[in-house]
Amino acid sequence: MSENTSHSHSERKPGAKREMSRRQFLAYTLGGTTGFLAAGVIVPMVRFAVDPVLQPKSASDWVKVVEESKITAEPKSFKFQVHQVDGWYESDPELEAWIAKDSSGKIFALNPTCKHLGCTVNWNNNPSYKDQYFCPCHGAHYTKEGKNLAVAPAPLDEYDVKIENGFVYLGELHANSIVK
Amino acid sequence: MAHGPKSNEKIVYVGDSRVIKRSNKPVAYDYAAYPGKSEVFIPNFLLKEWMVAVVALVGVLVLVMSDPAPLGYPADPTNTSFIPMPDWYFLFMYQLLKYPYASDQYVVIGTLVFPGLLFGGLLLAPFLDTGKERRFYRRPIASALMFLSLISVIYLTVFSWHHYTKELEATGTIPEHIKAEEERQAAKKSGQPAPSAGKTTQVAAIVDESDPAAQIYQKSTCVSCHGADLKGQAAAKIPALRGVGDKHDKAGLLAIMKNGVGSMPPGQYDASKAQGLSDADLDKLADWLAKQKKAQ
Amino acid sequence: MMKGVYNWIDERLDITPMWRDVADHEVPEHVNPAHHFSAFVYCFGGLTFFITLIQILSGMFLTMYYVPDIINAYKSVDYLQHKVAFGVIVRGMHHWGASLVIVMMFLHTLRVFFTGSYKAPREMNWVVGMLIFFVMLGLGFTGYLLPWDNKAYFATQVGIKIAASVPYLGGYIQTFLQGGDIVGAQTLTRFFALHVFFLPAVLLALLGGHFYMIRKQGIAGPL
């Protein structure tokens, strides 16, 4: 609005001394005051609202899942619990991972959440896609390493894996690094 | 639009049901009665109004930063030691209800008649005070009634607060929100995570429940306050005896039984003896209580 | 650029008169404290509105974290005040603003009363103003329960008991406010709905009426 109140001064002679009318001065002061009031009120609130965005990502702890000896070349599903702090709500939700050994014997763990639209995939549950992860929702399927073969736009996510004292520990979830 | 972008023609909507041509803008109030003594709303008037708003905002922010909004402990309907207080602007009503003619069988006077008269009179003021005169000193009845109500409301509010602070003093209560805030500050200073009262504190189990001393406990005077289940009464600030061994050893416990501690009266040792317990029994009891440590 | 967009819209909707009308209308000088300092008493209405704006904004932001549920309400308030950045400030604004708005409104009411500004033709505006006063008190009362701490709980108990003492209708009013037989889960959701949706809606409608009448009838002249 304040821009428009000054339109009568837009035709200034070039080189003429820049003079401000009383009305224009008042309009600018009013604009400044408005800005101060708005900032004083809004800034704390916006900071309050965006706080979750500015929180540092907490590195998740390693969770002990299963004995190393139970892992075979065939992917198997294992359930494990993580401690989750969600604002004022703390819970221990159960998560699932498909854990298997690759051809060189290295253990890897995949998250069964389909990268298409978030359904849950299952190993070897569809006869037409033998030895593959298959998603019942839209027929997305993946190789044993999680490589997306159809429908899904990306390979299955992978958990960090750590072996300690004969146990498999799972860590953070991240994009699949086995298949490109 | 049929008009080209360069058309200077002013569009006038005629007979168009979608857009009504605004012709009847609010008639500007005529201040001809006092000519030359008016100014435009923007920027002249609003600027001053907002200067005042700036002062108010700074005031609010200072208040907000110096005094955090109070937050006590989670609501506990079984809490009997809490002295409830409404917001300050309801205090006069609250106080009014304590008077004999505004309570008991006359409670309707306090809850309905008096506030009804007050707010009804206020609501209908323009129809009760219909004279042309505007200056308050020329409207003695209206002004006198207003002053009278003001004084009584202020008196009731102040007196109610006075009464409340006296009650706090008499019962040695610190208002909950202040205590909660102090606890948070203390936790912050010691670097511990803030006590989140939302979490239920784990109740320690009774150690060695089959011990004969447990029977002795049930016969002692301890039971009457600390409870047969040793849980105490959190609302009345009586501590639980579960886990008491973490705080006191046997000698300390015996001393407390004899001399009391905090709000616990002395002489419980002798009183228990009067109920048929021997020194040996109480010795066993103290032993047993000293064993009540929280399992880690 | 901005001017171009503005002109484009103005050509079609003729918006200039709308804000011009607000911006250029004349306000008598006797209400401006810059001319007579004693005129600061005329500022309380504007301040009430300003603080109401703060209340609406801070309230909107608080609901980003708050849950109206007896198990989680306290925890969420505790969380938003002590764990979220600036939570102390936003909740503080809402808490202290609630008191300030009552103070300002009270002073505004006294000013209007003692300057006799409610006299003809402004009787209706006074009545609307008093209704705003009631709605504000209602907002204070319903807002008090929401943190679900002891103070909230017992103050609400007392408030509802007062409402329950109304002859004949008292019991119904009590059940309506409580949403059941006790002050509990259903009371909290009810008060939340009243505090966040119903009363603010009524408040905004009344404020609209209040301001429209001020424009239509003008500010009362000097004494």
CATH 2.60.40.10 fits A63-174, yes or no: no
| Nearest Cα to Cα of residue C183 among C158, C212, C209 | C158
Quick one: how far is CA A114 from the chain centroid? 15
Report the alpha-carbon distance of residue A46 to residue C90 in Å, rounded. 10
pLDDT of residue C65: 94
Distance of CA B157 to the CA centre of its chain: 15
Query: What is the residue-averaged pLDDT of chain A?
Result: 81
The residues that bridge with A150 in the sheet, in sequence order, are A141
Query: For chain B, what are the domain ranges?
Result: 1-68, 212-290
Is residue A5's pLDDT more than 80? Answer: no
**Which residue from C minimizes the CA distance to B143?**
C114
CA proximity to B60, closest of C155, C207, C32, C57: C57
**What parts of chain B have a pLDDT lower than 70?**
1-36, 191-204, 233-237, 295-296
Better-scored residue on pLDDT, B96 or C35: B96
pLDDT at A16: 57
A1 and chain B: CB distance < 8 Å anywhere? yes
CB nearest to A26's CB, from B44, B53, B198: B44
- Alpha helices (H) in chain B, listed in sequence order: 46-66, 91-96, 107-108, 114-123, 125-128, 140-171, 176-189, 212-219, 222-226, 250-259, 268-274, 279-290
Cβ proximity of B54 and A33 under 8 Å:
yes
From CA B124, how far away is CA C124, in angstroms rounded? 10
Show Cβ contacts of residue C50 under 8 Å, excluding neighbours closer than 6 positions: A37, B53, B56, B57
Do β-strands B38-40 and A133-134 pair in parallel, antiparallel, or remain unpaired?
A: unpaired
Q: Tell me the shortest Cα–Cα distance from C121 to chain A, in angstroms.
A: 32
* Domain spans, chain A: 18-55, 63-174
pLDDT of residue A2: 41
Burial environment of residue B293 by CB neighbours within 10 A (0 to 12, 13 to 18, 19 or more): middle
- DSSP letter at B43? I
User: Coil, strand or helix: which one is A86?
Assistant: strand
C26 with B84: Cβ contact below 8 A: no
Q: Which CATH code fits B212-290?
A: 1.10.760.10
Q: Is C19 on the interface with A (CB under 8 A)?
A: yes
For residue B32, the model assigns a pLDDT of 59
Helices (H), C25-169: 44-62, 73-82, 87-114, 123-145, 150-164
Contacts of A91 in chain B (CB under 8 A): none
What is the average per-residue pLDDT within C44-50?
94
pLDDT tens across A7-38, in order?
444 445 555 566 778 888 888 999 999 999 99
Rounded CA separation B132/A135 (Å): 83
| Residues in B lying within 8 Å of A, measured between beta carbons | 42-44, 46-47, 50-51, 53-54, 57-58, 61, 196, 198
Which of B72, B77, B87 lies closest to C140 in CB terms? B87
Closest residue on chain B to C145 (Cα):
B75
C-beta atoms of A4 and C93 within 8 A? no
The structure tokens 């294992």 sit at A78
Are the beta carbons of C28 and B37 separated by less than 8 Å? Answer: yes
Q: Are C46 and C92 in contact (CB under 8 A)?
A: no
Find all residues with CB under 8 Å of C73, minimum gap 6, and list them.
C66, C67, C146, C147, C148, C188
